[in-house]
Amino acid sequence: MFKKILIANRGEIALRVIRTCKEMGIKTVAVYSQADVNAMHVRMADESVCIGPAESSKSYLSIPSIISACEITGSEAVHPGYGFLSENASFAEILGDHGIKFIGPSVSHINTMGDKINAKTQMEAFNVPCVPGSNGEVKDIDDAYISAKKIGFPVLLKAAAGGGGIGMKIVQGIDQLETLFLQAKSEAKKSFNDDTIYMEKYLEKPRHIEIQVFGDGKGKAVHLGERDCSLQRRHQKVLEETPSPGVNPREIKNIGKICANAISRMKYEGAGTIEFLYENNEFFFIEMNTRLQVEHPITEAVFGIDLVKEQICVAYGIDMSLSQEHLEPKGHAIECRINAEKLPNFSPSPGNIKEFHSPGGIGIRMDSAIYNGFRVPPYYDSLIGKLIVHADSRSMALGRLSRALDELIIDGVYTTVDLFKDILDQADFKNGDYNIHWLEQWLSDQVK
């Protein structure tokens, strides 16, 4: 087994990886920016290395700095967490050139799935159902008119290298097409230095369903059910649950089998997530994430496994312990992403944590790296914690979540805790009757 792993990340995910490594007897190395000198992941790791100033581009995104930290500490492998360099093929390749194992999929798989056009082509070849769309890149406005006419309005313009809704435009009619096409290309160029745009049919009221997959890199692969990620604001997930309250379990088993087959044929290594829109009893592939997801703890809860441990073991070359016939989910799990943001505008709220009390009890997990006196820096994502609950049924999980939210105390910064308390009171959510547009519509109604 690896003797020492460097975690190329910060915050709760770095701490989460460190915990698994400690349980496995593996030494850990934390990297940190000058803004994170007092961060919990730095305190918990066996060693730590400062890799630059507060700006991400000069620290957590600095490949030379992280490679240097690996060499200084003698780290044999790197776990990238999520975000930052987790889906950066160049980073994985450079690590390999230095004899350091990247805990994740191969460079070729990161490259293929990182480009949404190539990913869709690959999935179509594996008989994974896809959203009707353009035949690859929409090169110019004339091409856009041809594709839109074939697909039928409304259509969705998307950046091939994109994510988080950047470069994404909903086009309701032909009169909007040219303006929004040019806007999408401009946003994509500015954010990703790649203005490649493709087009898909815009689904009116879908759910966002993702399938957790795992492969050993040799052809053995499994799926670990679904996560319903339909509660979103500006294309960013807010709350996730498993199983989905809006999809028949038989349909999940069927699409899961299709996904596992695709991963097997790819000879994919490690954890990945295949994401779909689901409408009118049909699944439509939208993208694949070649990394651990923020919401992975709810899958761990219902299956009783440690996905990070599985990642590390497979990366080292140990045979995958997961087998489909033994993977049976139990109960229901929900995750709330707790952000340091001020409602109702969701503006970032950096500052000092004056008081923090984590909820406890049966079926409660709080993944967070904050503590009393910790300063939430203004330089990074506003996620400061994830509250995860697990219970025998959805109704029990909702009751447990309500109790845990009441018990959670975070004082000194504004948070989104009250948002979740309000959501839990809504009949639509209680009944599981929501789609990817529900949350934004409900939020809009609150300010009228």
Active-site residues, by number, are 291
Cα dihedral 423, 426, 428, 430 sign = positive
| Cα distance between residue 417 and residue 117, in whole Å | 37
Would you list the DSSP string of 188-253?
HHHHHS---EEEEEPPSS-EEEEEEEEEESSS-EEEEEEEEEEEEETTEEEEEEES-TTS-HHHHH
| Cα distance between residue 355 and residue 373, in whole Å | 7
Query: The tokens of 342 are what?
Result: 């001020």
Q: Which of 408, 427, 429, 430 minimizes the C-alpha distance to 418?
A: 408
Q: Which of 280, 311, 268 minimizes the C-alpha distance to 293?
A: 311
| Cα distance between residue 380 and residue 353, in whole Å | 16
58 DSSP assignment: G
Name all contacts of 85-91 with Cβ < 8 Å and 24+ positions apart. 85/8, 85/60, 85/61, 86/9, 86/291, 86/292, 87/114, 87/289, 87/290, 87/291, 88/63, 89/114, 90/63, 91/8, 91/63, 91/66
Contacts of residue 236, defined as CB under 8 A and 6 or more positions apart, other chains included, come to 164, 165
Residue type, 264: S
Query: The tokens of 205 are what?
Result: 């009221």
* Rg of the chain (C-alpha set): 21
- Count of CB atoms situated within 10 Å of the CB of 350: 15
